[in-house]
Amino acid sequence: MKNRVHNFSAGPATLPLEVLESIREELINYKDIGSSIIEISHRDKTFVEIAEKTEETLRDLLSIPDNYDVLFLQGGATLQFSMIPLNFSHLGDIANYAEIGSWSSKAIKEASKLCNLNICTSSKKNNFTQIDNLNEWDIKSNSSIIHYCKNETIQGIQIKDEPNFEGSVFVDMSSCLFSEDIDVSKYDFIYACAQKNFGPAGITLVIAKKELISKSNPELPNILRYDAHASEKSMLNTPNTFGWYVAGKMFDWYKKEGGIKKMQETSIEKSNKLYSLIDKSDFYINPVNQKQRSICNVVFTLSNPKLDSIFLEESDNEGLKYLKGHRTVGGMRASIYNSLSMDAVESLAHFMRSFETKYG
């Protein structure tokens, strides 16, 4: 479609045009009910059907075992890494947290207010460019929480192995859920905000073992208790109905496009196009350990940082948008989530080669 740019935003991120068109089509009068989906009660049969079907499709898509709850919550991933210690720190003596990038560091900051913390690994020393193997982490026993972020969106580094720890494993998958073919049963608690891979900001997914959820701290107000959300089927209060509805459309789109294995293959292919170009040149630099480079967020700097602003200006003029790195780290970042086309990545690669020829 004309006027749609190649959108490399890290989130809120691009969505498939056909999903947006279908939302537009239905927005004023959803399936002839005479109202928009955002104008009806979350308890209305029409919405309840959408909610139930969305969960069913998701369970199928990720092969979520029956002993897991699926919750559609609000407050973003930030509320999740704040609620986790509130709900579960009482389940052990110590909470093991990995410090492997900006988001895991933010989670540590919040957890440190509530838990006795052990930093089980830290890659701060190498500026978050290389993460110790999971089997080298110093996990203390009698642990309430083992927490890490699977894909650090800002540093472009990703843990590709599945965990095998003694203790409950909580993982922030905000920027990689649906891009990697994971085995849900290896995790006790997965959470992800929607605005990268499955919809608008404001709806957040939790996939967690029912047994764990049932041990939520009973002293908290209900709105902060996972068990209260689970027993009310994520309708303890008015949910983000629009976000839930869009998530359903995204899950349908994933199925139609070939499922998660296919998404993973495509993400690897897209990221390799950029990494191979970067590695062949002295003009572009990516400092991340090759095996741990993110297949969702490709970060790079220019060997001459004086060219950064020119790179961003010229790429923007070519319709390659939102390539500026996170304000805390600078440089460039191409977020290449599932909804971003191969064509967009190829256009960026083409631009990067021409830019190097012109200024290198």
Ligand X SMILES: Cc1ncc(COP(=O)(O)O)c(C=O)c1O
Give the residues lining the site for ligand X (CB under 6 A). Answer: 11, 76-78, 103, 149, 153, 172, 174-175, 193
Q: What angle do CA 179, 181, 185 make, to 5 degrees?
A: 125
Based on the residue annotation, tell me whether 279 is a catalytic residue of this protein.
Answer: no
Q: How far is the CB of 163 from ligand X (least distance, A)?
A: 17
d(CA 62, CA 183): 8
- Going by C-alpha positions, the residue among 281, 276, 322, 320 that lies closest to residue 304 is 281
Q: Determine which one of 196, 209, 270, 324 is catalytic.
A: 196
Contacts of 273 (CB under 8 A, 6+ apart): 345, 346, 349
The DSSP element (H or E) to which 278 belongs, if any, is: helix 259-280
Q: How far is the CB of 175 from ligand X (least distance, A)?
A: 5
How would DSSP label each residue in 162-206? PP--SS-EEEE-TTTBTTB---GGG-SEEEEESTTTTSSTT-EEE
Cβ nearer to ligand X, comparing 30 with 81: 81
Based on the residue annotation, tell me whether 244 is a catalytic residue of this protein.
Answer: no
Cβ nearer to ligand X, comparing 203 with 260: 203
Cβ nearer to ligand X, comparing 40 with 201: 201
**322 Rama class: left (phi>0) / alpha (psi -120 to 50) / beta:** left
Q: Determine which one of 137, 150, 172, 249 is catalytic.
A: 172
Q: Which residue is nearest to ligand X (CB)?
A: 76
Q: How far is the CB of 11 from ligand X (least distance, A)?
A: 5
Based on the residue annotation, tell me whether 138 is a catalytic residue of this protein.
Answer: no
Cβ nearer to ligand X, comparing 115 with 157: 157
Q: How far is the CB of 204 from ligand X (least distance, A)?
A: 7
293's tokens: 């480079």
d(CA 210, CA 356): 53
Helical pair 241-256 and 17-27, crossing angle rounded to 10 deg: 140
Cβ nearer to ligand X, comparing 103 with 189: 103
Cβ nearer to ligand X, comparing 175 with 241: 175
Residue carrying structure tokens 């086309």: 341
Neighbours of 8 (CB within 10 A): 25
Strand-pairing partners, residue 171, are 148, 190
Q: How far is the CB of 173 from ligand X (least distance, A)?
A: 8
Q: Determine which one of 69, 103, 244, 270 is catalytic.
A: 103
Q: How far is the CB of 174 from ligand X (least distance, A)?
A: 4
The answer to whether 19 touches 242, Cβ cutoff 8 Å, is: no
Q: Provide the annotated active-site residues.
A: 103, 172, 196
